[in-house]
Chain A
Amino acid sequence: MTALLETRGVWQRFGGLVANSDVSISVGRGEIVGLIGPNGAGKSTLFNLIAGVLPPTQGSIWFDGEDVTNLPAAERCQRGVGRTFQVVKSFETMTVIDNVIVGALVRNTVMREARRKAHEVLEFTGLAARANVLASDLVPAEKRRLEVARALATEPKLLLLDEVLTGLTPTEAQTGVALVRKVRDAGITVLMVEHVMEIVMPLVDRAIVLDLGKVLVEGKPAEVVRDPKVIKAYLGDRHAVGA
């Protein structure tokens, strides 16, 4: 079976800055894959390329067996790519349920069905009690969860999570981890960008480490964290020698 998502030799340059150079990764169906790396490694850029916010300078992106390189974000969502944003982008003047309905409308044209789907997703993500609250009144952890709920309402095949666990309290992060597992159990493939290694590593099936815009290491989480190259990228040369 082909991979659900594949990037083939993807480059992204912003003027003189090379954010991604020759990145080729693949994500199989049903996997939880972690995309990690130090600040400025090009994780968010790669994410935006996959989500279709901008086209890559070079290379191609394949989703579900089709070349989606030149499709805009909305079209990719219709094909089954859901995403959250690192900096939360709720529809602030709308209620929680209305936020989720926007996502649900991708696959449900009848309002009543979209609304029912949205309620289902709110139950699934544990936000049901907050359905009629304005998004602007949510606490940060709930806003993160709303991002996930909204993306799930589009019934994605692939869910892109951009630092959904960062900046949460340990308890909130644990709830988040449980939610990601639940999402995968529902048959959705997950690609997540994360900073906090100790939270991500137990969660993911596979980790891809980016550094300076390139794929540094790829493999099982336990192997990746012990890899000298990864330690060097995160902590510098001195620590790598010790490892």
Chain B
Amino acid sequence: MDKNFAARRRRDLIIAAVLAALAALAPLFVKNVYIQNILVLTLMYAALSQSWNILSGYCGQISLGHALYFGIGAYTTELLFTKFGVLPWFGMLAGGGIAAVIAMGLGYPFFRLRGHYFVIATIVIAEIGLLLFQNWEWAGAALGITIPVRGDSWLKFQFMRSKLPYFYFALALCCLAWFVTWWLEDSKWGFWWRAVKDNPEAAESLGVVVFNSKMGAAAVSAFLVAIGGAFYAQFLAYIDPESVMGFQFSLLMALPAVLGGIGTLWGPVLGAAILIPMTELTRSYIGGSGRGVDLIVYGTLIVLISLALPQGLVSLFSRSKAKGATR
């Protein structure tokens, strides 16, 4: 039994390595900038959704306010860069740290809430964050911040001529978020989180400190999402509150995980790989009519997938996985 378990863990790791290697080769074949753009976004949302999944999927604390951490990552990086000349790499880490601290600060009162009340609180807090940034003069208020062009360089993490560096960073971030999840899944934290999700009272009776588990999940999740936000800001080279902290980001982090399989290792990646290209393609091919046909098509597809596979797309693979698996 233990052997099977170890084998499954190893197989997941090998599959991930192969997929990452294949993805790294993609730019050799994809020269179209528009498609490259879609690939970057897909990888980024896969990473974000994977991070969201740690708090909401594994630990069961559904957040629809992760746009806040995304925005904090973006703003911290750009404010530090434009106001103090701090390199985006450091800004990125600072943003992650600040987001993690804020997530824990918010968790302190809100982790006492259960179910729908917690979800509502996350939405409200993210909206408050958005309003604060829209009115914060020093941070550019509603006009936002334009990131000054200093020429292509890895040091300043800025590339005007090619999307490829962004592509590789997004791929690395996606691998990082996946690996962190993989690693945590078979750790004390991973078990604690799933126990808290399934039954907090029973978890408590088995020595699980429920509150601390939630705080840990929130911190890791927010940190990784903020790194994603910092990346997105550099990628856009311009940020304003709505374009890095809008509610749609909260949704686009949750949807891939939900469609792919919430609380699973592969769900977010699988969900993002289908959902994000679908979003972009429907928009560019049928979105021009101005009548929202793209959204109708998009929405219908989501409804169909959820109806057909309520456990998420990963459940398509779960039959073969169930043998000797520990979940």
A residues in contact (CB < 8 Å) with B: 51, 53, 72-74, 77-78, 82-83, 85, 89-95, 97-98, 101-103, 105-106, 109, 111, 114-116, 119, 131-132, 150-151, 153-154
Contacts and interface: CB of A to CB of B under 8 A. Distances in A.
Given A91-B199, A109-B188, A115-B2, A102 B327 contact: no
B: interface residue count bin: 20 to 34
Nearest to B195: A102
Contacts of A115: 2, 5
A94 B327 contact: yes
Contacts of B326: 95, 97-98, 132
Given A89-B199, A97-B326, A77 B206 contact: yes
Contacts of B195: 91, 94, 102
Contacts of B327: 93-95, 98
A74 B208 CA distance: 6
Interface string B172-194: 00000000000000111001101
A89 B1 CA distance: 25
Interface string B248-291: 00000000000000010000000000000000000000000000
A74 B202 contact: no
B138 to A, nearest CB: 43
A105 to B, nearest CB: 5
Given A90-B199, A95-B327, 15 more contacts: A53-B204, A77-B207, A78-B207, A82-B205, A85-B201, A93-B194, A95-B326, A98-B327, A103-B206, A105-B188, A109-B188, A111-B186, A115-B5, A151-B205, A154-B206
Contacts, number: 93
Contacts of B188: 105, 109, 111, 114
A197 B141 CA distance: 72
B199 to A, nearest CB: 5
13 contacts: A53-B205, A73-B205, A89-B199, A89-B201, A91-B195, A94-B198, A95-B327, A98-B326, A102-B191, A102-B195, A111-B188, A132-B324, A132-B325
B325 A102 contact: no
Q: Which of A77, A109, A150 has the most chain B CB atoms inside 10 A of its CB?
A: A77
A114 B210 CA distance: 19
A74 B204 contact: yes
A122 to B, nearest CB: 10
A92 B325 CA distance: 15
B209 interface: yes
A103 B205 CA distance: 9
Given A111-B186, A115-B2, A106 B206 contact: yes
